[in-house]
Structure 1
Amino acid sequence: MGRSTALVPVRHVGIGGRGPEDVVADAHGRVLTGVEDGRILRLDGLAGPAPARVEVLAETGGRPLGLELLPDGALLVCDAERGLLRVDLDDGTVRILADSVAGERLRFCSNVVCGPDGTAYFTVSSRRYPLGQWIGDLVEHTGTGRLLRLAPGSAKPEVLLEGLQFANGLAFGGDGSFLVLAETGACRLTRYRLTGPRAGHPEPFVEHLPGMPDNIWRGGADGPIWVALAGPRVPPLDLLHRAAPAVRRTAAGLAVRAPFRPTGAAGVLAVDDDGRVLHHLTRRRSGFRMVTSVCQVGGHLILGSLWERGVAVCEAPAGR
């Protein structure tokens, strides 16, 4: 993967809420995020010298994770407790688009993107563990993650892929012919073809990542795919994944009861449509931990975290 370069911090910005798990930028350079208490926030002026402005746009009544801005100004939200939601940002109205699939309640919806025709593609990280026990799925290596599709006007999503290792972030390829999907538990990015002779089939995109990929963001078809690395690879965990299912299940039970504290490392990647790594930015002793999302606003990268009580602003690298 080559050597990494330094992730250069500019400032940390408190936002009055914990766990801005996903961050997405709108056309005006403002950043939207969801926090632990269910609020959807809009952050403005993050990179400037003046205090940032924090505006509450809506409350989902659950735990918002992945976000996707729609062309009409509304917001798609993957809520870990309530399913796939549509939020009207003008009046804060929240509507449930899907909360079950094939009679099974949607648990742990993670990230979503929307195609030009209004089709929503979204991930479910685990069918066994809820968000509050996410570490159990990574330890047990359940392979119960899913990729789903919801057609415009439908309330019944269909399953496109199963057996994924903690399915997480999503982004479209530049020409819209494929999706890039993060499998956090396998430290890899997977490509899912939407068109052509390989449509409907997954294939490796970037394997052997140096950390666990989380949310993915792309600012435009000609821009890079930014990938947040929520934590470094853990060699003992890689070894455990090769153990018998009963051993992994026992270890997972211990992990969900043990206190968790993320490492001090922070990292993000940028890749192109051929899976080439354009940038690998890291900081070994970061004051901002567990980077679960990244987006770019002008000359800055904005980092989100499931753990922190704010966002981090870092210098964006020069283009390649």
Structure 2
Amino acid sequence: MARRNISPLRWTPPALDDPGPTGELRVARRLATGGRGPEDVVFDADGRVICGTGDGRIVRLDPVTGESTVLADTGGRPLGLHARADGTVLVCDHDRGLLEVGADGSVTVLVDTVDGAPLTFASNVVESADGTIYLTSSTSRWNLDDHLGDLFEHSCTGRLLRRDPDGTVTTLASGLKFANGLVLAPDESHLLVAETTGYRVRRHWLAGPRAGESEILVENLPGFPDNMFLGSDGLLWIGIAAPRNALLDRLLPLPGILRLLVWNLPEAVRPKAVPIAWVMAFDLDGRRVHDLRIADGSYGFVTSVAERDGTIALGSLTESDVAVLHPVASVH
């Protein structure tokens, strides 16, 4: 089947500024999911890891013993997750939209359309204390299997959405550069949104004098930020799926025909992601605290990271297992 063509938008990315790692990423053990592609990992109220696999299952893992329990099968492709205190789980399912997985394994669709059109590429989700749900939609033009198309095209069709407790869905922000990871501030005053193809993290204000406005918290990242998690250490942990690609950065400001030509090259010679395992952590003022990397093949394509009480878990779109890291020295 012929590859779908891109409609490139021009953008001048910031010049790469990579200060290098602060330490080595060291995998202590792997937790078998029984499937493949635990794209997002989160901790539940009891310190267990929740993830979703490519075959549609939502799996709970004990980070110490590795014991696994299948909570549900969404019938789709689960991506971003939010574990509620009552044991239920909110799931952004690429195929089905925003879902709620009950403690009994039931699956309920909460959102599958926005403004009368199907919800596309539901990516990540968080919930406030009053039951308001926030979620990201990465792109309206590409699916998971062809997500690199959005990278080459730079479609800027990502959205930040809100679902009120009565079921009303509102678009809070549009035109985002592949909206991905999502974190709610502890005081619920703002959201943090990873813009994967913009190499940055955006802050969207929910309360206070700037409610409804946004600003950039972290910019010019040296890699592609994916899912994010607010750790018990108070840090914003970010999975970095891959380093930035020098050829793509050079092509993005140029006439789109050049990217179209590269996009249509045979798969074997198109630019590829550099295999690496990489996570970063920032404080809520945007200052870098940790930058952990390794390229020894012990793990790769990290699409998520979560921290709780010193335990750091990684998820990946391409790996079969969840990885647990050796402890990282605190800087506090």
Query: Which TM-score applies when normalising by structure 2?
Result: 0.89
Match of 1:192 among 190, 204, 211: 204
Alpha-carbon separation, structure 2, partners of 1:226 and 1:120 = 21
Structure 2 gap ranges (5+): 1-17
Give the corresponding residue for 1:280. Answer: 291
User: In 1, Cα distance between the equivalents of 2:226 and 2:266?
Assistant: 20
Is residue 326 of structure 2 the alignment partner of residue 312 of structure 1?
no
1: distance between equivalents of 2:184 and 2:72?
A: 27
Q: 2:4 maps to what in 1?
A: none
Moved more, 200-209 or 67-76: 67-76
Shift of 1:272: 1.1
Q: 1:207 to 1:302 in 2, by over 3 A?
A: same
What is the alpha-carbon distance in structure 2 between the residues aligned to residue 285 and residue 59 of structure 1?
33
Q: How does 1:80-229 map to 2 (within 5 A)?
A: 80-88=94-102, 90-154=103-167, 156-220=168-232, 223-229=234-240
Query: Which residue in 1 is equivalent to 2:255?
Result: 244
Out of 246, 250, 253, the residue aligned to residue 235 of structure 1 is 246
Please, which moves more after superposition, 260-269 or 232-241?
A: 260-269
In 2: Cα distance, 1:230 partner to 1:268 partner: 8
Unaligned runs of 5+ in 1: none
C-alpha distance in structure 2 between counterparts of 1:61 and 1:131, whole Å: 16
Amino acid at match of 2:280: L
Shift of 1:144: 0.7
SS of residue in 2 equivalent to 1:319:
coil
Q: Does 1:72 align with 2:90?
A: no
For 1:69 and 1:180, locate their aligned partners in 2 and report how far apart those are by CA, in whole Å: 18
Report if the CA contact (8 A) 1:299-1:315 is conserved: no
TM-score, length-scaled by structure 1: 0.92
Q: What is the aligned partner in structure 2 of residue 264 from structure 1?
A: 275
Q: Does 1:57 align with 2:71?
A: yes
Which has the higher mean CA deviation after the structures are superposed, 203-212 or 263-272?
A: 263-272
Structure 1 pair 250/157, CA: closer, same or farther in 2 (3 Å)?
farther
Q: Conserved in 2, the CA contact under 8 Å of 1:13 and 1:311?
A: yes
Q: Cα–Cα, structure 1 residues 139 and 319, in superposed 2: closer, same or farther, change >3 Å?
A: same
CA spacing shift, 1:256–1:33, aligned 2, 3 Å: farther
1:286 deviation in Å? 3.2
Which portions of structure 1, spanning 4 or more consecutive aligned residues, are displaced by more than 3 angstroms? 245-262
Q: Is the CA contact 2:205–2:212 (under 8 Å) kept in the aligned structure 1? A: yes
> Aligned partners of 1:127 and 1:143: how far apart in 2?
9
Deviation at 1:312, TM superposition (A): 1.1
